[in-house]
Amino acid sequence: MAGNPSADQLPIGVLALQGDFREHLQVLQQLGETAVAVKSREQLEHIAALIIPGGESSVIDKLSRLYGLFEPIRASIHAGLPVYGTCAGLIMLADTVEDSIEGQQSFGGLDVVVRRNAFGSQTDSFETDLSIPELGENPVHAVFIRAPVVESVGARARALATLDDGRIVAVEQGNLLGTSFHPEITGDTRFHEYFVRRVRAMQ
């Protein structure tokens, strides 16, 4: 578990335009991290990392452009800012998005093809246990809500977790981490801890 941040550590931001950003903020605070809800370009400039929450990817896309955050976030990702995207956040990190709405854009940076709403509607949500060696021997209980799936992984990215049928639901690449599911709502903080460790190692 992450310890209390030292005075020179920058906070970890959570993009707070739409979706379940409050849950991510609570997990980070539980881990002893200073967390900030990011709604402006100025806030983006004073964080060590960013989490893009679950929600509706097309709405996050539109609001990020409305608030003048789209291009700064895209530039920050390519400059090496550590970013973790869950569900809609994974879609926003993908270089290629299938089944997107007309005109929808992603920040990109993650060398994957992601299919939006791959598991169907809200009523098709489900839970399952995943084996993720990077997080220890105990399985991760994963909650999928209108979740995307990673259709393919490019040479720069690697899969962290798959379903029993082989579909990829967690990936990482350098400064980027993405999951199809919502670890922020299960009480299992290991994915956030994993991300925080990566962030602090990069500082």
Active site (catalytic) residues? 87, 182, 184
CB 158 within 8 A of CB 145: no
Counted residue by residue, the chain has a size of 203
Question: How far is Cα 101 from Cα 97, in angstroms, rounded to an integer?
Answer: 10
Long-range contacts of 60-64 (CB under 8 A, 24+ apart): 60/15, 60/17, 60/18, 60/19, 60/88, 60/89, 60/92, 61/92, 61/104, 61/105, 61/106, 63/17, 63/18, 64/15, 64/17, 64/107
Phi, psi of 145 (to 5 degrees): -125, 110
Alpha-carbon radius of gyration of the chain: 15
**β-bridge mates for residue 110, sequence order:** 94
